[in-house]
Amino acid sequence: MSTPVSVLVTGATGTTGSRVADRLVALGHDITPASRRPTDAVGARGVRFDWHDAGTYGAALCGVDRAYLVPPIGDPDPALVMLPFLEQARAAGVRRVVLLSSSAVPVGGPGVGRVHALLADGLFGEWAVLRPSWFMQNFTGGHLHAESIREEGVVSSATGDGKVGFVDADDIAAVAVRALTDPVAPDTDLVLTGPETLSYREVATVMTQVSGRPVEHRQLTYEQMRDRLTAAGIPGEFAAMLAGMDRSIAQGAENRVTGTVERMTGRPPRTFRAHAERALAERGRRAGAEAGA
């Protein structure tokens, strides 16, 4: 195993942050799990952290030299709040930062792309930017797509027949841990995908086969998708950006696979079918345990 390090994990109760925290603890590293509603991890006490509250920065940065950063969700310009934190982190002795971004956001691009550019320009001595494709968990977890599948048997998008190299959050976390703990930092951005590309229609087909319940893909226009997201409570500017990403998928922007997960972890990424089977089995086990409680 690598030499133990001390890592701040922001978004520690979220989809990737919780997985990163669990893996780091299992490998014997010291972590500070940080989130707006902190919970303790095994062997680590959670601290409150809010990107929009600079008063929470000090406790989060105490005693750590590396950080896994999940940008503020729903903020169309996260650099405005992230830059002051990054400057404080550097002053506090953090020397390696691993940032969660997106395959849809290039360096210097909108949203977190500006933070990506700052890291690439040498804000920290060691760095990596994870640029995963769309999460497989969007169809099985707490995402709007997953809720719609469970409640209506429908997944709606403006992606048309465009394909995506959907990636499992467990694979993202595995790469993040290597980027945080390897003796030599990647010092680059890492585009993360699963082993195949699928259209949303093909995702619906797999969900139908795995769950035994009919699931269909409802094709929407950009405007319809934007309005659907806004109606679900997503801020208008961010909803427009997400709907625009769907439109980019329809134009082929995400139709790619990379070998990054296997190169970084030594194993191939999980397929969507394998993810769906595991997620539905876990949901069934939880339901059974709750019924027997």
Looking at the DSSP bridge assignments, the partners of residue 188 are 128
Note whether 52 and 97 are same-domain residues.
Answer: yes
* Domain range enclosing 99: 1-131
Note whether 227 and 293 are same-domain residues.
Answer: yes
**H or E element in which residue 33 lies:** strand 30-35
Residue 61 near residue 73, CB atoms below 8 Å: no
The pair of structure tokens assigned to 268 is 């191939």
Position 287 scores a pLDDT of 67
Q: Which of these three, 80, 112, 131, is where a domain ends?
A: 131
Q: Read off the pLDDT band of 145 (50, 70, 90).
A: very high
Give the residue with greater pLDDT, 292 vs 199: 199
Note whether 119 and 146 are same-domain residues.
Answer: no
Note whether 243 and 113 are same-domain residues.
Answer: no
Q: List the CATH number of the domain containing 31.
A: 3.40.50.720
Residue 85 near residue 10, CB atoms below 8 Å: no
- Per-residue pLDDT tens for 227-254? 999 999 988 988 998 999 999 999 999 9
As a whole number of angstroms, the distance between CA 1 and CA 266 comes to: 15
Q: Which of these three, 112, 131, 150, is where a domain ends?
A: 131
The pair of structure tokens assigned to 141 is 């977890």
Q: List the CATH number of the domain containing 162.
A: 3.90.25.10
Position 2 scores a pLDDT of 66
Note whether 23 and 38 are same-domain residues.
Answer: yes
Q: Tell me: pLDDT of 135 over 80.
A: yes
The CB-side HSE value for 33 (13 A sphere, CA atoms) comes to 24
Q: Which of these three, 131, 148, 181, is where a domain ends?
A: 131
Arithmetic mean of pLDDT, 130-137: 98
As a whole number of angstroms, the distance between CA 255 and CA 110 comes to: 20
Residue 263 lies in a domain: no
Residue 180 lies in a domain: no
Q: Tell me: pLDDT of 1 over 60.
A: no
The CB-side HSE value for 126 (13 A sphere, CA atoms) comes to 16
Note whether 138 and 207 are same-domain residues.
Answer: yes
Residues 6+ apart with CB under 8 A from 202: 163
Residue 65 lies in a domain: yes
Helices (H), 113-221: 113-120, 144-152, 169-181, 200-211
Helices (H), 92-138: 113-120
Q: Indicate the pTM of the whole model.
A: 0.93
Position 41 scores a pLDDT of 62
Q: Tell me: pLDDT of 6 over 80.
A: yes
Note whether 39 and 110 are same-domain residues.
Answer: yes
Note whether 63 and 14 are same-domain residues.
Answer: yes
As a whole number of angstroms, the distance between CA 263 and CA 182 comes to: 13
How many domains in the chain? 2
> 3-class DSSP state for residue 32?
strand
Arithmetic mean of pLDDT, 166-174: 98
Q: Tell me: pLDDT of 290 over 90.
A: no
Note whether 242 and 219 are same-domain residues.
Answer: yes
Note whether 151 and 124 are same-domain residues.
Answer: no
Residue 176 lies in a domain: no
Residue 39 lies in a domain: yes
Query: 115-148 as b/e, with b when 16 or more CB fall inside 10 Å?
Result: bbbbbeeebbebbbbbbbbbbbbbbbeebbbbeb
